[in-house]
Amino acid sequence: MAQWVTVWRAAQLVGVSRGVLQQRIRDGALQLSDDGRVSTDALLALYPQARLEESGLLERVARIKDEAFGRRVRERLLPSQEVLAQRLFTQTQELADVRRHLERYHALVMELRETVRDAARDGDDARWQRLQQQIERGLARVLATETVDVLDVMDDMLKVMSAQVTLRPSGHEFTVEGRDTLLQAGLRAGLKLNYGCGNGSCGMCKVRVIAGEVAKVQHCDYALSEAERAQGYTLMCAHTAASSELVLETLEARGPQDIAPQQITTTVRAVTTLAPDTRLLHLQTPRTNRLRFLAGQSVTLGIAGAGGDDVHATHPVASCPCDDRNLHFYVARDDGDAFARALFAGAVKPGQPVTVWGPLGTFVLAESPRALVFAACDTGFAPVKSLIEHALALDAAPSIALFWLATRPDGHFMANQCRAWSEALDAFEVSLSRHDDAREGAREMARAMRADLFDIDCDFYLAGPEAFVATLDAQLASAGVPAAQRFAEVV
């Protein structure tokens, strides 16, 4: 018998992205129920190749037994023993409820069969005879051994390995795996959750549990009031999902306007040479004061200068908001930038404090079902990388294309990362180009886009120097791309 699963779970079961599955729904190849769920029978008809042994689930479980993967792998794939036991207990309760219902229905049908048999034996009405035969045939079909639906087995397995969380009123969904807290899993899924410290001190990640169970996995100092506990409130940073499905009520940020300005003193974790004229600056926030920002946004960095004056510079964050303690920045050699001069002169060292103000800017990912096209020039790759990682976490775009122009010899300082995305993801394409002039390079990029993408409904995100951004944006506008589908950031 078919089960009904959410789109998110359906994508996990057949091994495709949620964006691909949603596109099949929009195309009419897959139908949704009134509550937005998908039938496992319909899934198997659309993806007949789906098999448990090919899904990767069995391999993931088998790897846990291999001690070579160590404790970190086991923690990443499986929840703690306590949470695992609670999820299994919930599954057992559901199974017991189903068994009780089946026993009652079976008793009712057997009683009905005896009544019909007696009526058919005592009377001459052929209708009783036909009804008796119909019941006998139906019972034979029900009691016969049927093929087990492989997606049902996979779904039951997923419910133990991971939990699905639905947020109200937005309807956003995410999966909790391993020993992640609700907050960690939600941020990793690219959601704009409300939080502050991330360690149970401030209470800003407070949510109300509408359905399902949670389990405490981390200590927290913030004390909920009696009224809040009675209404089902809990802290996302200190709890995980104890049931296979969980529904939470919380408000999420709609955009940059909902992210409060912050000032944080961070510590330099590392300065890494990516290329002769490009450095990776890795900052780490305190555990009790993390930076809340959206992918694509920038911050202002401040250090104490040699003469006692503070040195400031604004740079886009190159890392994903899901790792809010570790902030990455790509800084190019620039004699006109005092911060860049200090960095390349070796004046910025591990352990040194760096003040961060922000976040700044509105260059963020819009909610859209369209394919995504990212275009970067030189260090404009920083906000684009953050947006790409955010889009991959959301898993909602049917396809992603990246165009990266280098006007400097070391302009493609993260080319290996781009190739890794392209090789690992079927729906990801990358094009690396080189030109000394940003304007002409933007025109060549527009011609490449026109050849490959202009017949597809896409959202375009452009980042780089002003000459590049202005030229490419004008080319897209002249090609008929609506203003609402063009987003730009001058870096």
> Average pLDDT over the chain, rounded to whole?
84
Q: Check whether 68 has a pLDDT greater than 60.
A: no
CA distance linking residue 181 with residue 248, whole number of Å: 14
Predicted TM-score (pTM) of the model is 0.75
Q: Give the residue with greater pLDDT, 353 vs 63.
A: 353
Comparing C-alpha atoms, which of 324, 200, 183 is closest to residue 241? 183
Confidence grade of residue 158 (pLDDT, cut at 50, 70, 90): low
3-state SS, residue 158: helix
Q: What is the mean pLDDT of residues 85-104?
A: 71
Q: Check whether 463 has a pLDDT greater than 80.
A: yes
Q: What is the mean pLDDT of residues 314-338?
A: 93
Cβ neighbours for 245, distance < 8 A, ≥ 6 positions apart: 159, 163, 164, 165, 166, 211, 212
Q: Check whether 64 has a pLDDT greater than 60.
A: no
336-392 confidence digits (pLDDT tens): 999 999 999 999 999 999 999 999 999 999 988 899 999 999 999 999 999 999 999
State residue 421 phi and psi, 5-degree precision.
-60, -45
**pLDDT at residue 84 in the model:** 67
Confidence grade of residue 8 (pLDDT, cut at 50, 70, 90): low
> Which segment of 57-61, 154-158, 181-185, 336-340 scores lowest on mean pLDDT?
57-61
Is 60:154 a contact under the CB 8 Å cutoff?
Answer: no
Q: Give the residue with greater pLDDT, 330 vs 43.
A: 330
If phi > 0 it is left, if psi is from -120 to 50 it is alpha, else beta; for residue 275 that is beta
Domains of the chain with CATH codes? 156-256 (3.10.20.30), 260-360 (2.40.30.10), 371-490 (3.40.50.80)
**pLDDT at residue 446 in the model:** 93
Q: What is the mean pLDDT of residues 173-192?
A: 88
CA distance linking residue 406 with residue 185, whole number of Å: 35
Q: Check whether 398 has a pLDDT greater than 60.
A: yes
CA distance linking residue 248 with residue 474, whole number of Å: 44
Positive or negative torsion for Cα 121, 124, 126, 127:
negative
> Which segment of 128-142, 226-240, 312-326 scores lowest on mean pLDDT?
128-142
Q: Give the residue with greater pLDDT, 217 vs 273.
A: 273
Cα dist. 11→18, 86, 323, 484 in Å? 5, 25, 25, 29
Helix (H) or strand (E) holding 384: helix 381-394
